[in-house]
Amino acid sequence: MQMETEKKGSALVVFSGGQDSTTCLYWAKTRFERVVALSFTYGQKHVLEVEMARQLAAEAGVEWSVMDVPFVGGLSSGCSLTDSSLTIEEEKPADACPTTFVPGRNMFFLSIAAIFARERGIYDLVTGVSQTDFSGYPDCRDAFVKSLNVTLNLATDEEFRIHTPLMWLDKAETWALADRLGVMDIVRYKTLTCYNGIVGDGCGHCPACQLRRRGLEKYLSKKL
């Protein structure tokens, strides 16, 4: 059963079409009268994720836009996007930095999203970052999001509010939230989280699939 609360105003969801952002999309729909989803192309390996985001937004009945930000792909900070498993398929040495690391990606996406939203009179931003499952990515932490929120407000002289519904949830709790929102099947079978570009339960082998599966199994075991 979907959660009910008083809706107000508009929100923009930074939307990849994966488990977390799709859960956040439906979370936003329970709280805001108008929801806009914004996706990004930045040289990622699987363009399918953008198509899945478009389809998911249409099914959710929300406005959807996509922005091309290729400059993100040209940035490097020790481990460049061109070395990332999000853009290539080669194996990485054991001592290399995490192949899923994209330096400052959330910083750029949230900053761009804020300007995009401001032009549309939207000041509530929603992102699916989680400190509980942040896997060492510094721009998924609560401190970073709060800091960026202050910076965006100072930079624009506005009052943005960045919402992070998953910040303190692990993957099992994220599945539980999707279930409470009434979108368990949508999140399980129609989202793309897999680094190998397989929709739904994915390949079962990449780190994203393993994390997702462990969370699902943990949640389902508690439901039984």
When divided into structural domains, the chain yields a total of: 1
Instruction: Give the per-residue pLDDT at 70.
Output: 86
Instruction: Give the per-residue pLDDT at 1.
Output: 52
- DSSP of 58-78: HHHT-EEEEEE-GGGGG--SS
Residue 4 domain flag: no
Residue 1 domain flag: no
Instruction: Give the per-residue pLDDT at 134.
Output: 57
Residue 184 domain flag: yes
Residue 3 domain flag: no
Exposed / middle / buried, residue 154 (Cβ in 10 Å: 0-12, 13-18, 19+):
exposed
Q: What is the pLDDT along the chain (224 residues), one digit of tens a residue?
A: 555 667 889 999 999 999 999 999 999 999 999 999 999 998 876 678 899 999 999 999 999 999 999 887 666 544 444 444 444 444 444 444 445 556 788 999 999 999 999 999 999 999 999 998 656 678 899 999 999 999 999 999 999 999 999 999 999 999 999 999 999 999 999 999 998 999 999 999 999 999 999 999 999 998 87
Instruction: Give the per-residue pLDDT at 42.
Output: 86
Residue 200 domain flag: yes
Residue 121 domain flag: yes
Residue 5 domain flag: no
Contacts of 37 (CB under 8 A, 6+ apart): 12, 13, 15, 25, 53, 57, 60, 62, 63, 64, 65
Range of the domain at 201: 10-223
CATH at 205: 3.40.50.620
Q: By the 8 A CB rule, do 167 and 161 touch?
A: no
Q: How many CB atoms lie within 10 A of CB 4?
A: 7
